[in-house]
Each structure stands twice: as C-alpha cells, then as structure tokens.
Amino acid sequence: MQKSGQRILRVSLIYNQIQEIPSSHSPRCLSLSTLLLGNNTYLQFIAGSLFEQLHGLNVLDLSHTIIEKLPASVSDLVCLTALLLEGCKRLSHVPSLKNSGH
C-alpha cells in the first residue's frame, strides 16, 4: 500500500504469470515512469484504461508476451521514450505513437 506523500516511480512485474490486466486494475500512479511487464508469457490482454492514469510513463516493457494488440490509449503516453516489444510474435496492431515520446 502506498503511503500518503510517497511516489512510485518504477514497477516490475516481470516473470509472473499475468494473463490479462482488466479495467478494474487501473492504477492511479501519476509519477510512474517505468512499467515492466515483460516475460509474462501468458499476457494477452491489457485494458485501455491501464494507461489513462500513467501519463508520466517513460518506459513500457511488454517483451515476450502474447499480446495481440495494444490499446489505443498507448498513443496518449506523451512521455513515452521506450516501448519494448521484443518477442511479441502475436502482436498485429500497434496504435499510432505520433503523440507519444519525442
């Protein structure tokens, strides 16, 4: 649990057995800069609402997952500088990242 005044900057959930991240699991971590979800080899779905409260996200690692498409809300990650998708063999759709990163 996050105490008042603390900021979470990095979250690593690599090598778990996460299969999906539904809309009911959308964090409110405005200061989060790094989210590592790589090597969750069964991860196939991420709700678009996950990224709605993560506008400060710089690094998003989805490597070695079986995700098929990224939610459109990825386009709203204006601070995103690294989107890691190595080994995402089922990925067939990535929304425009024109508005995100530099």
- 46 part of a folded domain: yes
Identify whether 49 is part of a domain.
yes
Does residue 5 fall inside a structural domain?
no
Range of the domain at 28: 10-84
Per residue in 44-92, pLDDT tens? 999 989 888 888 999 999 999 999 999 999 999 999 999 999 999 999 9
**Is residue 72, in this structure, part of any structural domain at all?**
yes
* 51 domain residue, yes or no: yes
Q: Is residue 43 part of a domain?
A: yes
Q: Which two tokens stand for residue 25?
A: 């699991």
* pTM for this entry: 0.87
What total of structural domains would you count in the chain? 1
Does residue 100 sit within a domain?
no
Residue 30 lies inside a defined structural domain of this protein: yes
Q: Quickly state the pLDDT bin for 24 (edges 50, 70, 90).
A: confident
